[in-house]
């Protein structure tokens, strides 16, 4: 009898209590939107946006080109030219809208999926391909375009961004002509300690940093409900600064919201959390298989909210662009796609001994010895070849 009871107790203990019905993370009244999925321009009292037709066409061009680069990268991975690729498909508006809100003095701290922001900052896409091909871990100078190196460990860069913003404060560069920092991260990262520590540091220091969270609903296979029971933008209030949810597929809204938050930061009003509500249309990376964990119906519903199509519809409806404009953009994107494809295929492997470079600012004797030993080892093959 006692044994039987013990068995029952063990079974009930191993039974995980059902998760409480999560709050549905669908569009809510708080979502800032300036361009509907149908391409209709709507006004928001807090975010008036004055953009010229040329600017909107420029944003459209950015969106198309970054999608094309992404498309080429996926194909190159399939052909074995890249080791892996993290696709931004679906997140173009969040990245281009926020990226185009930055000034030249502002600093951006990306994750490893911010190809659209990299494009806006002027980074050569080949630098990204180097990383995903395995030629370098990044290998660009963050000061060249005020675009920091890609960070792969989830959330770490939010602290770097906050520290950098504290440096801006110490430089006295906060004020009318001030500079600010934008830290990119995803919904999964909001569970990381570092992101929460960054929120605290930014808050108590009133640091000029904007936390730009692209909530693409999925952290590899884990849906948002595994990370949070409260809408992410609402977390900011607990840390003592404002949080906003914006339609992440609306490039105009992302531009307006980021512009306002960055300006507030530059002027010394401290941090803002922006939750760009979007969707990861592709796999987490080229090694992932989303059919194992999510329904195609969800994907289909987000296809109707495509970030590029709505801008096109808007430009056509308002007669701000001729059809020839769209043909021209497509042709330019195809040309850029072809050139990155060729450049990637022709990218040479690094020299073996380069792995010893740039560990410290000066090479230690220990490492110099290891390098010399390895060079001699490599040379021994060449010598053996000659002797044959």
Partner 1 sequence: MTTLTLSRALNEGLRKALENNPKALIMGEDVGKLGGVFRVTDGLQKDFGEARVIDTPLAESGIIGTAIGLALRGYRPICEIQFDGFVFPAFDQIVSQLAKMRYRSRGPVRLPVVVRIPFGGGIGAVEHHSESPEALFAHTPGLRVVSCGGPADGYAMIQQAAESDDPVIFFEPKRRYWDKADVDVETGLADALPLAAARVLIPGSDVTVLCYGPMVRTCSEAAVAASGDGRSVEVVDLRSLAPLDTATIFASVRKTGRCVVVHEAVVTGGIGAEIAARITEECFYSLEAPVLRVGAPTTPYPPSRLEEHYLPDLDRILDAVDRTFGY
Positions in the binding site for partner 1 (CB under 8 A): 136-143, 148-149, 151, 153, 156, 158-171, 193-194, 197-198, 200-201, 204, 357-362, 364-367
293 is annotated as an active-site residue: yes
**44 token code pair:** 């928001």
Both tokens of 212, joined, read 């730009």
Q: Select from 343, 333, 328, 329 the least CA-distant residue to 124.
A: 343
> Angle at which helices 53-78 and 323-345 pack, to 10 degrees?
30
SS3 366: helix
Which token pair is 196? 């929460």
Nearer to partner 1, 70 or 194 (CB): 194
Q: How far is CA 152 from CA 104, 121, 233, in A?
A: 25, 19, 23
Q: Which two tokens stand for residue 123?
A: 């980074």
Paired residues of 212 in beta bridges: 184, 274
Token pair, residue 68, equals: 């094309």
306 closest CA partner among 254, 252, 249: 249
Closest CA to 101 of 202, 211, 252: 252
Residue partners of 17: CB distance under 8 A and separation at least 6: none
Of the pair 204, 304, the CB lying nearest partner 1 is at 204
Q: What is the CA radius of gyration of the chain?
A: 24
Nearer to partner 1, 334 or 372 (CB): 372
Which residue is catalytic, options 57, 121, 284, 310?
A: 284
Give the nearest distance from C-beta 357 to partner 1 in angstroms: 7
The nearer residue to partner 1, 153 or 353, going by C-beta atoms, is 153
- Mark whether 47 is an active-site residue: no
153 or 220: CB nearest partner 1: 153
Minimum CB distance to partner 1, residue 18 (Å)? 33
Given the residues 245, 280, 310, 341, the one annotated as active site: 280
Among the listed residues 218, 157, 210, the one whose alpha carbon sits nearest the alpha carbon of residue 187:
218
Least distance between partner 1 and beta carbon 172 (Å): 10
Tokens of 179: 């500079």
State the minimum distance, in angstroms, from the CB of residue 208 to partner 1: 11
In the complex with partner 1, the residue whose CB is nearer, 143 or 319, is: 143
Taking the complex as a whole, the smallest distance from the CB of residue 262 to partner 1 amounts, in Å, to 17
Residue 206: CB minimum distance to partner 1, A: 13
Helix (H) or strand (E) holding 214: strand 209-215
Q: Which residues are catalytic?
A: 280, 284, 293
């Amino acid at each position: 009898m006692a044994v039987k009871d013990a068995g029952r107790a063990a079974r009930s203990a191993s039974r995980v209590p059902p998760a409480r019905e999560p709050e549905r993370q669908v569009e809510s009244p708080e979502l800032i939107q300036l361009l509907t999925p149908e391409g209709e321009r709507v006004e928001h009292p807090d975010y008036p946006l004055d953009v010229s037709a040329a600017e909107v066409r420029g944003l459209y061009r950015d969106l198309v080109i970054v999608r094309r680069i992404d498309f080429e990268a996926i194909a190159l991975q399939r052909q074995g030219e890249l080791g892996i690729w993290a696709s931004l498909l679906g997140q173009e508006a969040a990245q281009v809208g926020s990226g185009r809100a930055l000034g030249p003095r502002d600093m951006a701290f990306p994750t490893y999926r911010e190809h659209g922001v990299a494009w806006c900052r002027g980074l050569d896409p080949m630098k990204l391909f180097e990383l995903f091909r395995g030629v370098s871990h990044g290998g660009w100078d963050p000061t060249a375009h005020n675009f920091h190196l890609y960070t792969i460990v989830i959330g770490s860069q939010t602290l770097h961004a906050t520290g950098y913003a504290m440096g801006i404060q110490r430089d006295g560069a906060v004020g009318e002509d001030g500079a600010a920092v934008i830290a990119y991260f995803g919904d999964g990262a909001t569970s990381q300690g570092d992101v929460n520590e960054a929120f605290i540091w930014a808050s108590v220091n009133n640091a000029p940093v904007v936390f730009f969270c692209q909530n693409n609903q999925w952290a590899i296979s884990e849906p948002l409900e595994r990370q949070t029971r409260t809408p992410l933008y609402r977390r900011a209030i607990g840390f003592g600064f404002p949080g906003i949810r914006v339609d992440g597929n609306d490039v105009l809204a992302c531009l307006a919201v980021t512009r306002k938050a960055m300006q507030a930061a530059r002027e010394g009003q401290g941090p803002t959390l922006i939750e760009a509500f979007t969707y990861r249309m592709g796999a987490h990376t080229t090694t992932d298989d989303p059919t194992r964990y999510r329904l195609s119906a969800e994907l289909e519903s987000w296809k109707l909210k495509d970030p590029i199509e709505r801008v096109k519809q808007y430009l056509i409806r308002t007669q701000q662009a001729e059809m020839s404009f769209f043909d021209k953009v497509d042709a330019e994107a195809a040309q850029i796609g072809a050139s990155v494809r060729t450049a990637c295929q022709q990218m040479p492997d690094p020299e073996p001994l380069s792995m010893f470079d740039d560990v410290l600012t000066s090479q230690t004797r220990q490492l110099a010895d290891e390098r010399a030993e390895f060079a001699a080892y490599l040379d021994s093959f060449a010598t053996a070849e000659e002797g044959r």
